[in-house]
Structure 1
Amino acid sequence: MGDNLKINEIIDINENLHKLKIDELKIGMILGETINVSEKKILLKNDTITNEILEMLQNKETLEEVCVYKTKKYYNSDFENPENESVENKDYISGYNDKIKINVADTVAILEKTFDSISANLNQIFYKLGMLKGSNIDEIRTISKQLQEKMTDLNALINAIVFHGSGKDSIYRHGINVAVLSNLLGKWVGLDEKKVNLLTYSGLLHDIGKTKIDSKIFTTNDLLSEEDFNIVKSHPLLGYNIVKEINFLDKSVAQGILMHHERLDGSGYPLGLQDDNISQFGKIIAIADVFDAINSNRSYRKKKAPFEALEIIKKESFGKLDYKYSNIFLHHMFSYYVGKDVVLNNNKVAQIIQMDINDLDRPLILLEDSFIKLSLNSDLEIVEFVL
């Protein structure tokens, strides 16, 4: 990108922290500290300031200054009018974000190894439960705690889920991803700590019923026959019957498992429940489940286009998935897409600058020396993300 600064030309980030008053903050700046906006919402160090985050900071009455990464160039930039941004400032942003992305990539690699280990432990718990050998609440609590302890770097965490999905592992790694996303959505909608923990258990165990079904159904390269699909549709009930037998486990966990494929219009399964007859956990896990399933490779299909999972959640929020929860999920996920590198259909790499809920796959991007609104440019489209 023009005369981009190289990583070693950028001032060390630990020496590049400055306090700015709230009214001096600009969209696109990078937070240099973690901020508790409320009991339910935390903004993390290295988060990019979006419209939504800026509003949160402006609405926190006790907050007067915020620590951000900046240099003279960065401070003088006008992020409110990105299309008028100077080439010099664009180059700084690009070079600085390169340094941040290297750290994220390293963290994602570590997370992937941790998830592999947790998947193996989850496999053992599922086996014991499926064989009725008495896996108990303590084992579920231990593996959930292990997972939640790794949820400190949300940027890297969501990168791992968005970039890697759950692959062909539609039970164990999928369960981990769904548990993580359910945990986050639970916090975003304001659940208390106890409910978030129970929701995480339910997410981890939501597909345990699949272990009672012939594995060939889940590994075939062909589309399922109607008969096989009807067998698959039994897995929520099978899982419910397994988990409800765990001593001292709150019934909300088993209900979330039973209802994660139910839909508000009654088109879901296994019971065809509607609206308020679907549990809160069932509604939350449904959103997480759809996102990871669409965003992952499976034996019978490749993962969908970069924004298709978000598009499907938005579409199904009108009648099938809970609208309020879906809307909260989408808006929070946007902040993690901003700043990501993407490959375009012309094989060039660009950076996402701003998302639009009304045109999810057509964000504002930075390509070489120009800000481009894809919504106004039909020749370009995003093909894939780059980690």
Structure 2
Amino acid sequence: MRLLPVSSLQPGMRLGKKIYNEEGIILLSENAELNDVIIRRMQLHGLDYVYISDPRTDDVVVEDMIEESTRRKALQDIRDTFRKLSEPSVKGMVYPYLGKTFTGLVETVMDDLRGREDTMIMMMNINSMDHYLFRHSLNVCIYSLVLGLVQGYTKDELTLLGLGALLHDIGKTKIPLSILNKTSALTDEEYNEIKKHPELGYKILKDEPGISLKSAHCAFQHHERLNGSGYPRGLKGDEISDFARLIAITDTYDAMTTHRVYRSAMLPHEALEVLYTGCGTLYEKSKLELFRNHVAIYPLGITVTLNTGETGVVVKIHNEFPSRPVVRILADADGVELKAPYDFDLLESMTTIIKKVDEIEL
């Protein structure tokens, strides 16, 4: 299969992976044939990329980072809980189910990640029409746990990190939907309202049974930045918890690689470049390097153009060198499609580099 922008889809193409809605229900199955109506609906629902079947790359298998059943259950629990929290509350009300519900969920996600052959962070915002806040919460949890695993955190530390990452945006349940879903520019007053969500999240979590203060501080501090330019308290350096400094990176990355009502999603290499503009000032260098070394900069199935002029599809990622993948060459430098595509390993030719990703210049 190969990964194509929805803008490049043509009627008659067939899906390579299922497409889900926010309930976890399959909207379109593998091999479903696309038509103009389906393609327009994908665009309207904010899908930027989908996997498409292609005989030349039918050996490329893109596995999800967690099991389908885990993902469905996670989104259901997040959706149900967040919607309840969005309802008007009675003063003094507590939600003792948070710790119980989400601790088990985090442990299941950890088990799924440990069962993978690799620990690479793959694009999660593909083939899904989930509600942004629900999907974002799960993605940040998964990305953060991957980094925690390769960092060698203990099981208890991973559980605390996973809970903090999963619930880092829970304060947004107290922000009016009219502001959260606004498609035009926010006013200063609306932006200041949005900036309240870290403190609102902390207030929800700090006294929750089963939620530690370390996890609660992930909600409180995930928008703080090393140089003190973040919010809500303008903390600097080590004043920010270790977990929150890590989640600051995974939260920003997922936000940039997700389609929003006001902009299209970035590709991983674009988002990583933006993150690195804040290396050492906004984000901790060692954590940013850890993230860079474990993110699939060029996702499996993505179309790339080499400095030789040849065009192909990424078919294998080297875990140790994710920036030097194996590319299946499909067309020569003149754009003529090859009758016999072949695999080219960028690790074997250090002078050959990727110059474009989906026609985007590097």
Residues 160 and 214 in structure 2, CA contact (< 8 A), matched pair in contact too: yes
Aligned equivalent of 2:249, options 256, 268, 287: 287
Q: Any idea what SS the aligned residue of 1:268 has?
A: coil
Q: How big is the shift at 1:126?
A: 3.0
Distance 1:299 1:375 in 2: 40
Q: How big is the shift at 1:343?
A: 1.9
Partner in structure 2 of residue 206 of structure 1: 168
1:306/1:180 Cα in 2 relative to 1: closer, same or farther (>3 Å)? closer
State yes or no: 1:115 paired with 2:71.
yes
Give the % identical residues: 28
Unaligned 5+ segments in structure 1 are 1-94
Aligned equivalent of 1:301, options 257, 263, 268: 263
Q: How big is the shift at 1:206?
A: 0.5
Partner in structure 2 of residue 84 of structure 1: none
State yes or no: 1:223 paired with 2:185.
yes
Opposite residue 343 of structure 1, the aligned amino acid is T
Residues 256 and 280 in structure 1, CA contact (< 8 A), matched pair in contact too: no
Residues 129 and 135 in structure 1, CA contact (< 8 A), matched pair in contact too: no
Residues 222 and 244 in structure 2, CA contact (< 8 A), matched pair in contact too: yes
Partner in structure 2 of residue 141 of structure 1: 103
1:304/1:349 Cα in 2 relative to 1: closer, same or farther (>3 Å)? same
Q: How big is the shift at 1:162?
A: 5.7
Q: How big is the shift at 1:163?
A: 3.7
Q: Any idea what SS the aligned residue of 2:358 has?
A: strand
Opposite residue 178 of structure 2, the aligned amino acid is K
Residues 116 and 173 in structure 1, CA contact (< 8 A), matched pair in contact too: no
State yes or no: 1:161 paired with 2:136.
no
Aligned equivalent of 2:142, options 180, 191, 196: 180
Aligned equivalent of 1:383, options 353, 358, 361: 358
Partner in structure 1 of residue 82 of structure 2: 126
1:187/1:357 Cα in 2 relative to 1: closer, same or farther (>3 Å)? closer
Q: What's the CA shift string for 1:340-383, capped at 9, x where partnerless?
A: 222247995422667899996x97744244847898679x5111
After TM superposition, the structure 1 = structure 2 runs for residues 1-387 of structure 1, keeping only pairs within 5 Å, are 98-99=58-59, 101-102=60-61, 104-105=62-63, 111=67, 114-128=70-84, 131=89, 132-136=93-97, 137-151=99-113, 152-153=115-116, 158-159=121-122, 161=124, 163=126, 169-334=131-296, 337=298, 340-344=300-304, 348-351=311-314, 365-368=327-330, 369=342, 371=344, 380-383=355-358
Q: What's the CA shift string for 1:117-137, capped at 9, x where partnerless?
A: 311211223345564352332
Residues 312 and 327 in structure 2, CA contact (< 8 A), matched pair in contact too: no
Q: What's the CA shift string for 1:98-145, capped at 9, x where partnerless?
A: 43x33x35x57x845642431121122334556435233222212223
1:189/1:149 Cα in 2 relative to 1: closer, same or farther (>3 Å)? closer
Distance 1:209 1:154 in 2: 35
Opposite residue 230 of structure 1, the aligned amino acid is N
1:311/1:176 Cα in 2 relative to 1: closer, same or farther (>3 Å)? same
Partner in structure 1 of residue 23 of structure 2: none
Residues 365 and 374 in structure 1, CA contact (< 8 A), matched pair in contact too: no
Q: How big is the shift at 1:318?
A: 2.8
Between structure 1 and structure 2, the one with the greater Rg is 1
Q: Any idea what SS the aligned residue of 2:302 has?
A: strand
Q: What's the CA shift string for 1:312-349, capped at 9, x where partnerless?
A: 22222231111111101111224x847x2222479954
Count residues in correspondence.
Answer: 283
Residues 205 and 216 in structure 2, CA contact (< 8 A), matched pair in contact too: yes
Greater helix share, structure number: 1
Q: How big is the shift at 1:301?
A: 1.1
1:355/1:153 Cα in 2 relative to 1: closer, same or farther (>3 Å)? closer
Unaligned 5+ segments in structure 2 are 1-54, 331-341
Q: What's the CA shift string for 1:206-250, capped at 9, x where partnerless?
A: 000001001122222223222211111110110000001202422
Partner in structure 2 of residue 50 of structure 1: none
Give the RMSD, CA atoms, in angstroms: 3.8
Opposite residue 189 of structure 2, the aligned amino acid is E
1:204/1:225 Cα in 2 relative to 1: closer, same or farther (>3 Å)? same
Distance 2:353 2:241 in 1: 43
TM-score (norm 2): 0.66
Q: How big is the shift at 1:184?
A: 1.1
